[in-house]
């Protein structure tokens, strides 16, 4: 029995350090971002305030955004997507800059850019053909980084942290699906 448990734990799939999202499928409860091998499902219901915060931000500032950087933090099959929107400060007036800093907690990335962080909760699984269908394919695939904090038991019975792949965290991803992603 112990050998079966150890074998089961060590045979758990490990995500790669990066993944390439090739399709995004909106669903009633959120969004499914898929690579050729994995699907990442994020739901609005878990954090409706964060979804609304992103939606409002996108409506007001999408033209000033120069790109996004997406990271997935993984533990077991749970995924937290961190969606860092990069905004060019040179495209902002003083009022817009104040709103980003005060309402969205924008932080400097470098001399020319601000970063605004959004998060979404979800899980990952194997990809399914209907989620990869032509209507959901991105014109430009998005590479995401993955940090897997999954604790797995090795054959020696020790606990190890396994680094996980960078994935495209399709947080509230319609923004990335329609705009540039970095």
Tokens for 13?
């799939």
Q: Is the pTM of this model over 0.85?
A: no
> Rounded mean pLDDT of the chain?
76
Contacts of 6 (CB under 8 A, 6+ apart): 153, 154, 155, 157
Q: How far apart are CA 68 and CA 84, in angstroms?
A: 5
Q: How far apart are CA 83 and CA 51, in angstroms?
A: 12
Tokens for 182?
């970095």
Q: How far apart are CA 179 and CA 182, in angstroms?
A: 10
How many structural domains comprise the chain? 1
User: What percent of the chain is modeled with pLDDT above 70?
Assistant: 73
Residue 133 near residue 23, CB atoms below 8 Å:
yes
Q: Kindly report, residue by residue over 87-132, the tens digit of the pLDDT.
A: 999 999 999 999 999 999 999 999 999 999 988 889 999 998 999 9
What residue numbers bound the domain in which 173 lies? 2-178
Nearest Cα neighbor of 136 from 173, 93, 89 is: 173
């Amino acid at each position: 029995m112990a050998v079966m448990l150890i074998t089961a734990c060590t045979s758990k799939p490990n995500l790669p350090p990066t993944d390439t999202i090739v399709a995004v499928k909106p669903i009633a409860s959120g969004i499914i971002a898929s690579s050729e091998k994995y699907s990442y499902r994020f739901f609005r219901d878990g954090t409706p305030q964060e979804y609304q915060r992103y939606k409002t931000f996108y409506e007001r500032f999408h033209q000033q955004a120069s790109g996004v950087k997406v990271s997935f933090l993984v533990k077991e099959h749970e995924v937290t997507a961190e969606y860092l929107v990069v905004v060019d400060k040179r495209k902002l007036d003083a009022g817009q800059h104040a709103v980003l800093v005060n309402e969205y907690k924008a932080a400097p990335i470098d001399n020319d850019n601000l970063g605004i962080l959004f998060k979404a909760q979800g899980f990952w699984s194997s990809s399914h053909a209907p989620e990869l269908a032509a209507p959901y394919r991105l014109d430009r695939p998005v590479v995401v980084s993955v940090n897997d904090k999954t604790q797995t038991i090795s054959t020696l019975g020790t606990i190890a942290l396994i680094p996980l792949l960078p994935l495209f965290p399709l947080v509230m991803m319609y923004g990335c699906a329609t705009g540039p992603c970095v």
